[in-house]
C-alpha cells in the first residue's frame, strides 16, 4: 500500500512538481537519441575511429541501464529527492564536460558520467510521483504524463539533434542540457521527500553487473580471435553469473530474481528487449548511412526519417498489455 507524505502539495499546486518530474524524464530520454544525429559531425571534428564511435552512445546507455537499480536503491536509503537532485546535478555537469571534450576519450568518459547521473535520476523521478501525488486519478494522470515523456523524448531528441548540429554545432546537442537541468534542479524544492528505508547500499553487485555488461558489449568490437575479445567474453562469463549469484543470496537484492518467474513481468521485459534490439538499434546505423553515404546534412537526415515514434511499435504495445492488470 502506498502512502503520501502529509506535507504533499494541494491538488492546485501539483502542476509544477509534475512539470519538474516530466522535464527530468524527457531530458534523460532525449539525451539517448539526440546524440545519434550528431555522431557523423563529432566523429569528423574529433577524429573518432569507426570502432570507437559506437561508444559515444554505448557509454551512456550502459552506465544508465546497468546502474538504474542501484540508483533506485540509493533513493530508498538516502532519500529519493536528495538522490534525484544529486543525479540531476551530475548529469548537468557531465553534459558540460561532454560539450567541452577535446578528444574521444574524454567525450566517452563524460558520456558514461552522464549515464551515472541519469541512473540516479530516473528511478527516483518515478518514485517521487508516489510521494508527491495522492493515489487515484491525480496520480494516474501524473504517471501517464511521465510515461509519455519516453516516446516524446526519442522523437524530440532526433529532431532537436539535427537542428542543433546543423546550426550551432554538435557541442550544443549537450550544452542544451545545462539550462534545462538547472531549471529542473531549482524546481525540485516542490517535490515531497519520502521516508528513508533501513539497510545499506551494496556497491559490489552494481560494479560486477556493470562491468559484466560492458565486457559483453565490448567483446563484439574486435575480431572473434582477438585476445581482447576473448578476454572480454571471459570477463563477462565470470562477472554476470557472479552478479546473479549475489542477487540470489541477498535478502534485499538490487534485482529480485523472482520477478522473472512472473509471466506478466517476464512478458514486459521481453517486449522491451525486442524494442531495444529492433527500432532503437536502427537509429545509429540509419543516421550514419544518411550522412556518410547519402551525404545528407543533419537536418535533412532527421527530416527524411519522419516523426514516427517507437512508442507505437508492436513490442511496446505487447509490453504494455502484459504489464496491465487483468
Q: What is the pLDDT of residue 314?
A: 37
The C-alpha atoms of residue 36 and residue 30 are separated, in whole angstroms, by 10
81 and 103 in a single domain? The answer is yes
| Residue 192 and residue 207 share a domain | no
Q: Are residues 26 and 143 in the same domain?
A: yes
Instruction: Look at residues 155, 179, 197 and tell me which one is the last residue of a structural domain.
Output: 197
pLDDT tens per residue across span 61-98:
889 988 888 898 899 889 999 999 999 999 999 999 99
Please say whether the beta carbons of 133 and 22 come within 8 A: no
Domain total for the chain?
2
What pLDDT sits at residue 11?
52
The more confident residue out of 242 and 1 is: 242
What is the pLDDT of the chain when averaged over all its residues?
80
Q: Name the most confidently modeled range: 149-158, 229-238, 256-265.
A: 229-238
Asked whether residue 263 is domain-assigned, the answer is no
- Residue range 138-178, pLDDT digits in tens: 888 888 888 888 778 777 777 787 788 888 889 999 999 99
The number of CA neighbours under 13 Å toward the Cβ of 82 is 10
Model confidence, pTM = 0.78
Question: Are 73 and 125 part of one and the same domain?
Answer: yes
Distances (CA, A) of 59 to 107, 125, 139, 256: 10, 22, 34, 25
120 vs 298 pLDDT, higher one? 120
Same domain, 96 and 232: no
The three cell numbers of residue 305 are 526519417
CA angle, residues 215, 110, 287, in degrees to nearest 5: 75
* 278 within a domain of the structure (yes/no): no
19 and 139 both lie in a single domain: yes
The band of 318, judged by pLDDT with boundaries at 50, 70 and 90, is very low
Asked if residue 182 and residue 215 are part of one domain, the reply reads: no
Q: Which domain holds residue 213?
A: 203-249
User: Is 264 a member of any domain?
Assistant: no
The 10s digit of each residue's pLDDT in 100-112 is 999 999 999 999 9
Q: Are residues 77 and 183 in the same domain?
A: yes
235 and 175 both lie in a single domain:
no
User: C-alpha angle with apex 73: 135 to 84, nearest 5 degrees?
Assistant: 70
Amino acid at each position: 500500500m502506498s502512502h503520501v507524505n502529509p506535507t504533499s502539495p494541494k491538488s492546485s499546486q501539483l502542476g509544477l512538481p509534475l512539470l519538474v518530474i516530466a522535464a527530468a524524464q524527457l531530458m534523460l530520454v532525449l539525451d539517448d537519441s539526440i546524440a545519434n544525429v550528431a555522431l557523423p559531425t563529432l566523429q569528423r571534428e574529433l577524429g573518432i575511429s569507426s570502432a570507437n564511435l559506437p561508444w559515444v552512445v554505448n557509454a551512456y546507455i550502459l552506465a544508465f541501464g546497468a546502474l538504474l537499480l542501484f540508483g533506485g536503491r540509493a533513493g530508498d536509503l538516502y532519500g529519493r529527492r536528495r538522490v534525484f537532485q544529486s543525479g540531476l546535478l551530475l548529469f548537468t555537469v557531465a553534459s558540460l564536460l561532454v560539450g567541452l571534450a577535446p578528444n574521444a576519450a574524454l567525450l566517452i568518459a563524460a558520456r558514461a558520467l552522464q549515464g551515472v547521473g541519469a541512473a540516479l535520476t530516473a528511478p527516483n523521478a518515478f518514485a517521487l510521483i508516489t510521494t508527491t501525488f495522492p493515489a487515484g486519478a491525480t496520480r494516474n494522470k501524473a504517471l501517464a504524463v511521465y510515461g509519455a515523456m519516453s516516446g516524446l523524448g526519442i522523437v524530440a531528441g532526433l529532431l532537436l539533434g539535427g537542428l542543433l548540429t546543423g546550426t550551432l554545432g554538435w557541442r550544443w546537442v549537450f550544452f542544451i542540457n545545462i539550462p534545462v537541468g538547472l531549471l529542473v534542479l531549482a524546481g525540485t524544492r516542490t517535490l515531497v521527500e519520502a521516508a528513508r528505508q533501513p539497510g545499506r547500499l551494496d556497491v559490489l553487485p552494481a560494479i560486477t553487473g556493470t562491468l559484466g555488461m560492458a565486457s559483453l558489449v565490448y567483446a563484439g568490437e574486435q575480431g572473434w580471435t582477438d585476445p581482447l575479445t576473448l578476454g572480454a567474453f571471459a570477463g563477462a562469463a565470470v562477472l554476470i553469473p557472479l552478479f546473479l549469484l549475489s542477487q540470489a543470496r541477498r535478502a534485499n537484492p538490487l534485482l529480485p530474481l523472482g520477478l522473472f518467474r512472473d509471466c506478466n513481468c517476464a512478458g514486459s521485459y521481453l517486449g522491451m528487449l525486442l524494442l531495444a534490439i529492433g527500432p532503437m538499434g536502427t537509429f545509429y546505423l540509419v543516421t550514419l548511412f544518411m550522412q556518410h553515404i547519402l551525404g545528407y546534412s543533419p537536418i535533412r537526415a532527421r527530416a527524411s526519417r519522419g516523426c514516427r515514434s517507437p512508442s507505437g511499435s508492436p513490442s511496446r504495445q505487447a509490453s504494455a498489455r502484459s504489464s496491465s492488470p487483468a
